[in-house]
Structure 1
Amino acid sequence: MNGLPLPAGSKSTISTTAISYLSVSTLATFVNKLLYVHSEYKFPFPFITVFFQLVITLIFMALWSFINPTHHPSYFRIPKLRWNSSVAIRIAPLTLVYLCVIIFNPLFLQHVEVSTYHFTHSLSIAFSMIFSHLMLHVENSQRVKSACIIMIIGMCLGFIGHLNFSVVSTFYGLGWPAILAIYSIYLKKTLVAFKNDFWLLIQYNTIMSTVIMIPLIFLSGELDKVFTSIWFWDETGFWVQMIITSLTNFSVNVIMLILLIRVSPLSLSVAGVTKTIIQTLIAYVIFGNPLSLLNLAGMLLSLAGAVYYARLKTEELKL
């Protein structure tokens, strides 16, 4: 990979981690959806929500590192934080990109229709290929590129008839997957720089993000509205909801980093889109969400592209 170490782990380890990522992230999505859709506690303040989730994550990591269950595998042992300014400076670029993801997310959701969301998310695959070439000097084979193109075409067919673009939504629809692709590449580069110490990465990134979020909350204007419009600050159910969503998102981030240690940013993008396909198909089967025959065929075509991609990457490991 021209300067980057090869993904760690055997074929079976990578497959297990990928399946774990798909399972955990899919479960987290449905848990969050159930909580937000059926909950009486509506909290439409994305910046404050992110801040609360970061603080809850920090508290959880501090408590877990204090307990330090030594009988658990090393992946589940969170080390006690030892602050080092030089380490913080090296991780700062990743934190800034992460904050761009946080800031761009509500803008993306505001200007891009829900029906267009999944298709635009699939464009992260294309941006991952482009940025991996420009930033990591990684050149993918023609067959790998073909598998990625199949996935994108399948996603387009999967949501044809539901796509609706304007000039503004096109800007955000292209900007969001581009930022996601850049973020995954910065994650990979930072992981490599710190010898795959993902707990160090999570700890420093969470602390710095929490601090930077404070002025962003004031600039967003949410603080002026939250205390006048929210009545359930003392409700246990609200804080239980906030803790559950924080810990599910934290779990997804951890398993994502473990997967990224072993695979490329492009493979992570493919896994993310595959998760979207699985979620859509589950919603179609269980909840009866409407899908036309063409939409269903597109989803299955995209899933076939993901399987083809996985097969190609498995063949590369044998070489």
Structure 2
Amino acid sequence: MKEHQGDLCSRYVKIFIVVSCYWIISIATVFVNKTLLSSDSVKLDAPLFITWFQCVVSFSICFMLSRIGGVPGIFNFPKGSPWSFKVVREVIPLSIMFTLMIATNNMCLKYVGVAFYYIGRSLTTVFNVVFSWILLRQTTSFRCVLCCACIIFGFYLGVDQENLLGSFSLVGTIYGVIGSLMLSLYSIFTKKVLPSVNQEVWLLSYYNNAYSIILFLPLIVMNGEIGVLWNYNNFDSIYFWMQMVMGGVCGFAIGYVTSLQIKVTSPLTHNISGTAKACAQTVLATQWYNESKNALWWTSNLIVLGSSALYARFKQIEMEENSRKPVPEEKRSLV
């Protein structure tokens, strides 16, 4: 009995540490990126270049881990090369979505405040339902659709209140909606691409960052950032490069702690943890940047957060119910 209690206690401690790391790294990543993208200390109006550099850092870390096989005693990094023609052909469509997703996410963060960032990107769940029906022909229960309707209402209310407070950015909100759309597509198509990399999430991250380094180059040119980079005067600043490297490390770390949190808990717990983290992040941002928000603005956040958590719970219940249904005899050989 004592041994069982000891094992249970150690498991809870492990879960607490992992969830705490997820919260700290996730929130730190948002604040670091906000500093890089729009602070007076950096003053570099080249968000796509900053995002591209973060991909370079993530790719470099993945490349080193692939060479040494991972971190001994912590995790093994799968072997693989992103330069195989077969891999490029199968993964590059997903990498295009990945590139557009992280580009629009950072563009959104550049123009909106950290407090509004979650609301600006809150339509991912809605797009998941829409694209699951269009692409996969998967129907959604009425209660989940109702949660999506509440999310849309919360999003509208948040935009309306942000506009009344004078801090609304139409450009940033549009980028947030596009980022939500791309995240939804990326999530759906990831399931199709994972078998091509032996179900290895780390390998897929390695390949995505490798291809994104190339895919970002024409986007940087089209966004007019070459002239900005040419005239930038702080490339010799150690502080600037420390911030850039820190942003890249945070981008890599968030991928690891997200996978780790799902592994030691469950997808549902991860969703609930992410929702609670978003709430804490919003409160922290209003205090950090000394922003004053009215009651309706906070109500919009609560509606989106609560509806997202309920949606995740309802989907979990539906998955459990479906798993208990008997499989017809004629379909058993296919399962």
Work out which structure has the larger RCO, using CA pairs closer than 8 Å and 6 or more positions apart in sequence.
1
2:304 alignment partner in structure 1: 302
- In 2, the alpha carbon distance for the partners of 1:256 and 1:181 equals 17
- Residues 122, 304 of structure 2: 8 Å contact kept: no
- In 2, the alpha carbon distance for the partners of 1:56 and 1:284 equals 30
Letter in 1 for 2:242: V
Do residues 232 (structure 1) and 234 (structure 2) align? yes
- In 1, the alpha carbon distance for the partners of 2:299 and 2:123 equals 19
- In 1, the alpha carbon distance for the partners of 2:209 and 2:57 equals 10
1:194 alignment partner in structure 2: 197
- In 2, the alpha carbon distance for the partners of 1:274 and 1:171 equals 24
Of residues 303-312 and 156-165 in structure 1, the stretch that sits farther from structure 2 once superposed is 156-165
SS in 2 for 1:162: helix
Q: Structure 1's 156 and 268: CA in aligned 2 closer, same or farther, altered over 3 A?
A: farther
Q: How do 1:213-292 and structure 2 match up within 5 A?
A: 213-228=216-231, 230-256=232-258, 263=267, 275-284=277-286, 288-292=290-294
1:141 alignment partner in structure 2: 141
Q: Structure 1, residues 61-96: CA drift from partner, whole Å, max 9, x if none?
A: 22233344553333xx33344342101110011012
SS in 1 for 2:138: coil
Q: Structure 1, residues 137-175: CA drift from partner, whole Å, max 9, x if none?
A: 332222222233333333443453224889988865654
Letter in 2 for 1:129: V
SS in 1 for 2:161: coil
SS in 1 for 2:48: helix
Letter in 2 for 1:125: T
Q: How do 1:7-18 and structure 2 match up within 5 A?
A: none
- Residues 271, 309 of structure 2: 8 Å contact kept: no
Q: CA deviation at 1:252?
A: 2.1
Q: Structure 1's 196 and 149: CA in aligned 2 closer, same or farther, altered over 3 A?
A: farther
Q: Structure 1's 208 and 174: CA in aligned 2 closer, same or farther, altered over 3 A?
A: closer
Of residues 128-137 and 296-305 in structure 1, the stretch that sits farther from structure 2 once superposed is 296-305
Do residues 157 (structure 1) and 157 (structure 2) align? yes
Q: Structure 1, residues 274-300: CA drift from partner, whole Å, max 9, x if none?
A: 654432123345655212122223323
- Residues 155, 300 of structure 2: 8 Å contact kept: yes
Q: Structure 1's 113 and 152: CA in aligned 2 closer, same or farther, altered over 3 A?
A: same
Larger radius of gyration: 2
Letter in 1 for 2:208: N
Query: Which residues of structure 1 form unaligned runs of 5+?
Result: 1-11
Q: CA deviation at 1:246?
A: 0.6
Of residues 85-94 and 274-283 in structure 1, the stretch that sits farther from structure 2 once superposed is 274-283
1:91 alignment partner in structure 2: 91
2:77 alignment partner in structure 1: 78
Q: CA deviation at 1:258?
A: 6.3
- Residues 155, 302 of structure 1: 8 Å contact kept: yes
- In 1, the alpha carbon distance for the partners of 2:186 and 2:271 equals 11
- In 1, the alpha carbon distance for the partners of 2:54 and 2:108 equals 20
The alignment of Structure 1 onto Structure 2 pairs a total of residues equal to 300
1:100 alignment partner in structure 2: 100
Of residues 143-152 and 113-122 in structure 1, the stretch that sits farther from structure 2 once superposed is 113-122
With structure 1 as the length reference, what TM-score do the two structures score? 0.75
Q: Structure 1, residues 173-218: CA drift from partner, whole Å, max 9, x if none?
A: 6544322322222223322553421122112111111123334434
Q: Structure 1's 254 and 62: CA in aligned 2 closer, same or farther, altered over 3 A?
A: same
With structure 2 as the length reference, what TM-score do the two structures score? 0.72
Letter in 1 for 2:54: Q
- Residues 49, 225 of structure 2: 8 Å contact kept: yes
- In 1, the alpha carbon distance for the partners of 2:253 and 2:101 equals 18
- Residues 125, 269 of structure 1: 8 Å contact kept: no
Give RMSD over aligned pairs: 3.9
- In 2, the alpha carbon distance for the partners of 1:286 and 1:166 equals 20
Do residues 42 (structure 1) and 51 (structure 2) align? no
1:60 alignment partner in structure 2: 61
Q: CA deviation at 1:131?
A: 0.4
- Residues 161, 296 of structure 2: 8 Å contact kept: no
- In 1, the alpha carbon distance for the partners of 2:80 and 2:198 equals 17
Letter in 2 for 1:93: P
- Residues 157, 295 of structure 1: 8 Å contact kept: yes
